[in-house]
């Protein structure tokens, strides 16, 4: 129940809707609850031939019915506004929290699970809030009121009413306990199927290239069938609850009517109470059934609330000092005995790395696959914190700076270029929201993107489709580089960001970086040595260790690892030319 606390701050933003929803529930429930009692009065008045009383009670009965209908309409309106508003605010709060997460946090939850929580779990919570203010708060009034009227109408059969309520609630709690465990398993399986679908769709090219469609279908069907199994079991419980409740209520009604029939000569006035008694029992039954259904939805929504609460209570593993200054840090970078191990790893990816780069230098980073090149770049951008040692930018330990300051300082261009739905301009302006057209043009020129942007009639306003499906790999990389250049950050990291470019375009991009960004510290991670041979200094990584540092010419003389990489690549190029 502690998870419900996350809703309280959001309810405070909708006090008017909350108050009117509660008032309309109260009016609707009380007006409906008194109607069977009026029917009893009408029957007694008819037997006593009190025509005036009959007319008065009938008018009052009609009035109560109209009031109940109007109150019900208002209740639906305000409950809907309340549910939509609270859920929307909670979703926005949750999304903002996710945006504060580090990569470690994201990987721990998984993107598929977070997506499911933002959509499926939020829908469960919205339905719960609507049911709470449309049904759940009404049900206690109807249950208690019907129970009291049943006893008032026929006091000597009070035990039958209590017996019925005890049986219904006992069976209801038994079922609810079983359903909670099923709902938890269902939500976990929903996460799994969401992850599988997302992973397969993102890697659809690989799936089709290696003819893995049948295998992926089989995996998906297995998970889907398990999810269906849970749904069927949940359905079985739902289908058993209502008939069981009805059986209990009808048995009690039958018993009471039989007992009244046995004693009708001693209590002739009981004829007038049979109808209202049955009405109140059926009202009680209906209220308990609806409450049972709502409680089952609550059980599912409680699991969803717990999953949202888990996100909100999770602290980012990378925390910034937001009290620190917000201006850029400067362009110098220093690693001081830095080691790093991934959270789920048992071996260090980087070991005892130390180097110092002055501002405005171009730095190449080379090494075999798995040597830690990208990990080193991620530590500069503080996507992770080092396990040991410290990273400084502009003389400031990254653990002591504000996030705004660091993001203004470092621009990171990934190998896998990611563009968002919108326009070319909107994607480039993610690097600098205030960028003018001439700045967009300059960045596009440097990234060699102008040649295809100019072919579009709408130029920078050309649409970027979902997952940037209307651009090639090379075009996406060029736009991604342009986005990094527009930020004008003191430090620019290119993580193998020219791998999809042809040799001529890559050469032009490198020349632009050398001549157009003299004050920017540029880190170029590359598989090919030719991409970094003109760098001011090159870092050579091997199995997570910095084994050499120097210029291209120096490393050819002093570093066996660098020599091996260079000779291997030169041999491949020579073989390719032949």
Mean pLDDT calculated for residue range 191-209 = 73
Question: What is the 3-class SS of 476-530, one letter each residue?
Answer: HHHHHHHHHHHCCCCEEEEECCCCCCCHHHHHHHHHHHHHHCCCCEEEEECCCHH
3-state helix, strand, coil in the chain (%, to 5): 70, 10, 20
Which among 490, 31, 105 is positioned nearest to 318, based on CA atoms?
Answer: 105
Of the residues 249, 281, 313, which one is the last residue of a structural domain?
313
Q: Is the same domain home to 308 and 380?
A: no
The pLDDT of residue 74 is 93
Domain CATH for 494:
3.40.50.300
**Structure confidence at residue 204 as a pLDDT band (50, 70, 90):** low
The pLDDT of residue 574 is 66
Average pLDDT taken over every residue of the chain: 85
The pLDDT of residue 270 is 66
Structural domain includes residue 321: no
DSSP code at position 40: H
Q: Which domain holds residue 64?
A: 2-313
Evaluate if residue 578 carries a pLDDT over 50: no
**Do residues 175 and 237 touch, judged by C-beta distance below 8 A?**
yes
Q: Is the same domain home to 135 and 222?
A: yes
Q: Is the same domain home to 19 and 159?
A: yes
Q: What percent of the chain has pLDDT over 70?
A: 96
Count up the domains in the chain and report the number. Answer: 2
Region of 556 (left: φ > 0; alpha: ψ -120 to 50; beta: rest) is: alpha
Structural domain includes residue 389: yes
Of the residues 313, 345, 364, which one is the last residue of a structural domain?
313
196 vs 40, residue with greater confidence: 196
Structural domain includes residue 318: no
Structural domain includes residue 323: no
* CA-to-CA dists, residue 318 to 219, 321, 354, angstroms: 35, 10, 21
Q: Is the same domain home to 277 and 390?
A: no
Q: Over the stretch 21-75, which tens digit does the pLDDT of each residue have?
A: 999 989 988 888 877 777 777 777 777 777 888 788 788 888 888 898 899 899 9
User: What is the Cα–Cα distance from 281 to 277, expressed in whole angstroms?
Assistant: 6
Q: Is the same domain home to 30 and 123?
A: yes
User: What is the Cα–Cα distance from 529 to 513, expressed in whole angstroms?
Assistant: 17
Q: Is the same domain home to 122 and 259?
A: yes
Q: Of the ranges 22-31, 168-177, 375-384, which one carries the lowest mean pLDDT score?
A: 168-177
Domain CATH for 49:
1.20.1560.10
Structural domain includes residue 223: yes
**How buried is 563 (Cβ within 10 angstroms: 0-12 exposed, 13-18 middle, 19+ buried)?**
middle
DSSP code at position 314: P
Evaluate if residue 576 carries a pLDDT over 60: no
363 vs 433, residue with greater confidence: 363
Q: Is the same domain home to 301 and 349?
A: no
Mean pLDDT calculated for residue range 107-118 = 87
Which among 258, 263, 275, 257 is positioned nearest to 47, based on CA atoms?
Answer: 275
Q: Is the same domain home to 199 and 51?
A: yes
Q: Is the same domain home to 44 and 86?
A: yes
Of the residues 285, 313, 341, which one is the last residue of a structural domain?
313
Evaluate if residue 223 carries a pLDDT over 80: yes
309 vs 45, residue with greater confidence: 309
Q: What is the pTM of this model?
A: 0.73
Structural domain includes residue 319: no
Q: Is the same domain home to 301 and 414?
A: no
Q: Of the ranges 7-11, 119-123, 324-328, 336-340, which one carries the lowest mean pLDDT score?
A: 324-328
**Do residues 357 and 391 touch, judged by C-beta distance below 8 A?**
no
Q: What percent of the chain has pLDDT over 90?
A: 31
Q: Is the same domain home to 269 and 369?
A: no
Residue position matching structure tokens 């129940």: 1
Q: Is the same domain home to 251 and 280?
A: yes
How many C-beta atoms lie closer than 10 Å to residue 232's C-beta?
A: 9
Q: Over the stretch 89-98, which tens digit does the pLDDT of each residue have?
A: 999 999 999 9
Q: Identify any residues that bridge with 333 across adjacent strands, giving them in sequence order.
A: 357, 393
The pLDDT of residue 56 is 84
Mean pLDDT calculated for residue range 92-110 = 89
């Amino acid at each position: 129940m502690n998870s419900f606390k996350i809703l309280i701050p959001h309810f405070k933003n909708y006090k008017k809707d909350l108050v009117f929803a509660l008032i309309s529930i109260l009016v609707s429930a009380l007006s409906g609850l008194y109607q069977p009692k009026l029917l009893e009065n009408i029957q007694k008045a008819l037997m006593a031939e009190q025509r005036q009383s009959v007319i008065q009670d009938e008018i009052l009965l009609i009035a109560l019915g109209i009031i109940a209908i109007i109150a019900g309409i208002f209740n639906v309106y305000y409950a809907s506004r309340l549910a939509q508003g609270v859920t929307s605010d909670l979703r926005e709060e949750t999304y903002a929290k996710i945006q504060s997460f580090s990569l470690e946090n994201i990987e721990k939850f998984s993107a598929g699970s977070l997506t499911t929580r933002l959509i499926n779990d939020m829908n469960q919570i919205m339905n719960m809030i609507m049911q709470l203010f449309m049904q759940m708060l009404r049900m206690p009034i109807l249950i208690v009121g019907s129970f009291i009227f049943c006893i008032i109408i026929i006091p000597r059969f009070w035990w039958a009413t209590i017996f019925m309520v005890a049986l219904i609630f006992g069976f209801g709690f038994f079922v609810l306990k079983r359903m909670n465990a099923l709902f938890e398993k269902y939500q976990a399986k929903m996460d799994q199927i969401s992850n599988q679908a997302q992973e397969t769709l993102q890697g659809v090219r690989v799936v089709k290239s290696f003819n893995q469609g049948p295998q992926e279908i089989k995996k998906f069907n297995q998970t889907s069938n398990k999810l269906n199994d849970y749904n069927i079991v949940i359905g079985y419980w739902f289908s058993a609850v209502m008939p069981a409740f009805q059986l209990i209520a009808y048995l009690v009604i039958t018993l009471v009517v039989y007992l009244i029939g046995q004693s009708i000569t001693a209590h002739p006035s009981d004829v007038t109470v049979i109808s209202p008694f049955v009405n109140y029992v059926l009202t009680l039954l209906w209220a308990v059934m609806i409450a049972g259904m709502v409680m089952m939805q609550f059980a599912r929504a409680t699991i969803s609330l717990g999953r949202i609460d888990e996100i909100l209570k999770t602290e980012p593993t990378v925390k910034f000092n937001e009290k620190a200054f917000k201006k850029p840090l400067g362009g110098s970078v220093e690693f001081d005995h830095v080691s790093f191990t991934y959270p789920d790893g048992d071996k260090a990816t980087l070991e005892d790395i130390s180097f110092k780069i002055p501002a405005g230098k171009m730095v190449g980073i080379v090494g075999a696959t798995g040597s830690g090149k990208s990990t080193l770049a991620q530590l500069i951008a503080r996507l992770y914190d080092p396990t040991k040692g410290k990273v400084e930018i502009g003389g400031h330990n990254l653990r002591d700076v504000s996030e705004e300051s660091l993001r203004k300082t470092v621009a990171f261009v990934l190998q896998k270029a990611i563009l968002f739905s919108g326009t070319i301009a909107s994607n480039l302006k993610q690097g600098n929201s205030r960028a003018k057209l001439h700045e967009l043009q300059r960045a596009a020129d440097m990234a060699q993107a102008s040649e295809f942007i100019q072919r579009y009639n709408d130029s920078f306003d050309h649409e970027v489709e979902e997952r940037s499906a209307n651009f090639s790999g090379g075009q996406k990389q060029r736009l991604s580089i342009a986005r990094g250049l527009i930020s004008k950050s003191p430090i620019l990291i290119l993580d193998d960001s020219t791998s999809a470019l042809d040799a001529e375009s890559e050469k032009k991009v490198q020349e632009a970086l050398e001549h157009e960004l003299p004050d920017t510290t540029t880190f170029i991670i590359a598989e090919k040595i030719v991409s970094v041979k003109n760098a001011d200094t090159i870092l050579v990584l091997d199995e997570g260790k910095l084994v050499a540092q120097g210029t291209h010419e120096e490393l050819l003389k002093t570093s066996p690892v660098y020599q091996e990489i260079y000779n291997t690549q030169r041999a491949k190029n020579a073989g390719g030319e032949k």
